[in-house]
Structure 1
Amino acid sequence: MISFSTIIGITAGIGLFVLAIISSTDNYMMFLSLASAMMVVGSTFAASLISFSFMEVMHAIKAMFQTLSAGRTSQDHLHALVKRFVEFSRIYRDGGISSLEDCLTDKEKNDQSIGLGIELMGSGYKQQDIRVIMGDAMDSHWQRQSLEGKILNTMGVYAPGFGMVGTIVGLIIMLDNMGDDMANLGKGLALALITTLYGVLLANLLFKPTAAQVTEKQEQEYFRNQLITDGFVLLSEKKDALVMQDRLNAYIKPSKRYSVVDSDE
């Protein structure tokens, strides 16, 4: 599913910037410079590779593009999870672990958190062990994923700096080529400043906002996995549907909470 807020934000940010340029000057093509873009993007990428491993940087860039898609931890999704665990409790109490495994959908089988919970219950682990093992897996997954937001934030720090470097390089070239012709000073200075503009735009319209969204999605995922962990702990204790409902509804805002009574009606 597409994240409409991200699409609207990117469109509004770029659109307003372009509109401001077009309405202020007829020579808007001067804001386009392939060399400046290559200098800022290339230098930022190179510095990131020095700071982090190649695969980590690639995962961060992939996560940046994935911000165009919406997260899966909406209140409706959490509501559906609570409903599903209530169903799991009935199935497990009636048919045991084999019935529980058979009732899983393909999507649930491919879900790492749900798959781990089913595996632990099938291995005979008790509730305390399930909580510890799933909690450790959840924490280690969080630590691995949190690096993506850190890398994007680091790129947001590097980009304006390399924009300034590009401006300095442009000024040096401009002054060297200018000679006695002072008429070209303004035009040359404008071209030299484009790299700074690119660096600031990349940092504040791309790297830092996507880093914030990547971190937010990871926090939502962690919250979701906490619900799943508690769900399997309750399952291992063979709690009934009402207990399952009331305990897991704590993860959902009141207006979205699941009710066994309403669903039965």
Structure 2
Amino acid sequence: MISFSTLIGITAGIGLFVLAVVGSTDNHLMFLSAASAMMVIGSTFAASLISFSFNEVMHALRAMLETVQASKSTQSHLSKLVQRFTEFSNIYRDGGISALEDSLTKKESKDSFLSLGIELMGSGYKSADIRVIMGDAMDSHWQRQSLEGKVLNTMGVYAPGFGMVGTIVGLIIMLDNMGDDMANLGKGLALALITTLYGVLLANLLFKPTAAHVTEKQEQEFFKHQLMIDGFCLLAEKRDALFIQDRLNAYVKPSKRYHPQELENE
């Protein structure tokens, strides 16, 4: 599912910049420079590889590309998760752990955190032990995933700096080739400043916003995992479906809380 807010933000940001350029000058091509783009992007990527491992940088870039996808931990998703745990309660009470395992959908069986909870219950762990083990798994997952946002934020710091480096290189080359002809000073200076423009745009329209988006997704996932931990602890305690519903609904904002009676009336 696509995140429309992200698409609107990207489209608006690029669109407004293009409109500003088109409305200010007829020489649009002067804003395009392959050499400047390669200098900024290549140097930023190289500096990131010095700061982090290759796999960490690749994971961060993949997470950046996935920002156009909607989060899997919205309030609606949390409400559906509350519904599933109330269903799990009845299934577990009537058929035990084997029935609970068989009730998982194909999508749910691919959820490693959900599978962990089912596995711990099947192993006979008590509620307190499940909370400790799943809590440790949640914290470890958070530490690994939070690195993606750090990598993207670091790229956002590096990009303007390398844009300035490119501008300085361009100025040196311009002054060296200028000689006594001062007519080309303005044109050469404009070309030299393009790298700074690219660096600032990449930092403020790509790296930093996507870093914030990635971090927000991870925080929502962390919140979802907390709900799941409570859900499995309640299942292990063999709480009834109504208690599980009311307890887990605390994680959902009032307008999105799961109420089966309301669903039946609809």
Counterpart amino acid of residue 227 in structure 1: L
Give me the whole-angstrom Cα distance separating, in 1, the residues matched to 2:259 and 2:244.
Answer: 10
* CA offsets 1:163-203 (integer angstroms, 9 cap, x no match): 00000000000000000000000000000000000000000
Give me the whole-angstrom Cα distance separating, in 2, the residues matched to 1:262 and 1:120.
Answer: 33
Query: Is 1:240 the counterpart of 2:235 in the alignment?
Result: no
Counterpart amino acid of residue 164 in structure 2: M
Give me the whole-angstrom Cα distance separating, in 2, the residues matched to 1:161 and 1:88.
Answer: 53
Query: Is 1:123 the counterpart of 2:123 in the alignment?
Result: yes
* CA offsets 1:55-105 (integer angstroms, 9 cap, x no match): 000000000000011111111111110011000001111111111111111
Counterpart amino acid of residue 162 in structure 2: F
Which is further off, 250-259 or 32-41? 250-259
Number of aligned residue pairs: give it.
265
1:133-148 equivalence runs, <5 A: 133-148=133-148
1:67-82 equivalence runs, <5 A: 67-82=67-82
1:148-163 equivalence runs, <5 A: 148-163=148-163
| Preserved contact between residue 241 and residue 260 of structure 1 (Cα < 8 Å) | no
Give me the whole-angstrom Cα distance separating, in 1, the residues matched to 2:101 and 2:237.
Answer: 17
Which residue number in structure 2 is paired with residue 54 of structure 1? 54
Structure 1 residue ranges without an equivalent (≥5): none
Give, in angstroms, the shift of residue 113 of structure 1. Answer: 1.2
TM-score by length of 1: 0.98
Which residue number in structure 1 is paired with residue 2 of structure 2? 2
Give me the whole-angstrom Cα distance separating, in 2, the residues matched to 1:224 and 1:149.
Answer: 19
Which residue number in structure 1 is paired with residue 217 of structure 2? 217
Give me the whole-angstrom Cα distance separating, in 2, the residues matched to 1:203 and 1:262.
Answer: 47
Q: Secondary structure at the match of 2:203?
A: helix
Give, in angstroms, the shift of residue 236 of structure 1. Answer: 0.2
Counterpart amino acid of residue 134 in structure 1: M
Counterpart amino acid of residue 164 in structure 1: M
Give me the whole-angstrom Cα distance separating, in 1, the residues matched to 2:258 and 2:34.
Answer: 54
* CA offsets 1:33-73 (integer angstroms, 9 cap, x no match): 00000000000000000000000000000000000111111
Q: Secondary structure at the match of 2:72?
A: coil
Give me the whole-angstrom Cα distance separating, in 2, the residues matched to 1:264 and 1:176.
Answer: 78
Which residue number in structure 2 is paired with residue 41 of structure 1? 41
Which residue number in structure 2 is paired with residue 13 of structure 1? 13
Give me the whole-angstrom Cα distance separating, in 2, the residues matched to 1:3 and 1:14.
Answer: 17
Which residue number in structure 1 is paired with residue 206 of structure 2? 206
| Preserved contact between residue 150 and residue 211 of structure 1 (Cα < 8 Å) | yes
Give, in angstroms, the shift of residue 162 of structure 1. Answer: 0.2
TM-score by length of 2: 0.98
Give me the whole-angstrom Cα distance separating, in 1, the residues matched to 2:124 and 2:145.
Answer: 30
Q: Secondary structure at the match of 1:182?
A: coil
Counterpart amino acid of residue 51 in structure 1: S
Give, in angstroms, the shift of residue 264 of structure 1. Answer: 6.0
Which is further off, 15-24 or 251-260? 251-260
Give me the whole-angstrom Cα distance separating, in 1, the residues matched to 2:56 and 2:42.
Answer: 17
